[in-house]
Amino acid sequence: MAASESRKRKQPTHRKLLRNAKVEMRSEEEGFQGSWHPGTVISVDCKRRRHVQYHHFLNDDGDSLVDVVSVSPILDGIDSGNVDRTCYRGNIRPLPPKIELSKSRLRSVWSLC
């Protein structure tokens, strides 16, 4: 086996971020550039796009805003050996898990004075 063959990674064989998946979308709108907003995938089309309904944004009719975003071939389980993974920054990602915080038993610095 050649050295280059031993370095190859297994490509995913299943699609990700499918219908009902909780996701975050990166905004490119002026004033919101680079910020992430929660939503739910409501449909997937055959052109590697996800239709996402935002949780906190409304359209002019007062309904939840729906946006369409293209995903990387990697998310669709497509063998993408020619995709440069080092410079691709996606606009969609899985919603991170909630972190459970508990009240700390440490005292405030101010209470020590």
Q: What is the pLDDT of residues 8-44, one digit of tens each?
A: 555 445 778 999 999 999 988 899 888 999 999 999 9
First-to-final CA distance of the chain: 67
- CATH code for the domain in which residue 69 is found: 2.30.30
| pTM given for the model | 0.68
Is the residue at 2 inside a domain?
no
CB-based contact 52:92 (threshold 8 Å): yes
Domain that holds residue 76: 11-96
Is the residue at 36 inside a domain?
yes
For the chain, the domain total comes to 1
Instruction: Kindly report the backbone phi and psi dihedral angles of residue 4, in degrees, each rounded to the nearest multiple of 5, phi listed first.
Output: -70, -30
Is the residue at 32 inside a domain?
yes
pLDDT digits (tens, 9 = 90+) for 56-103: 999 999 999 999 998 887 777 776 566 555 555 688 999 988 888 877
- Residue 64 is classified by DSSP as E
Is the residue at 102 inside a domain?
no
Q: Is the pLDDT of residue 2 over 90?
A: no
Is the residue at 56 inside a domain?
yes
Is the residue at 69 inside a domain?
yes
CB-based contact 37:112 (threshold 8 Å): no
Cβ neighbour number for residue 8 with a 10 Å cutoff: 8
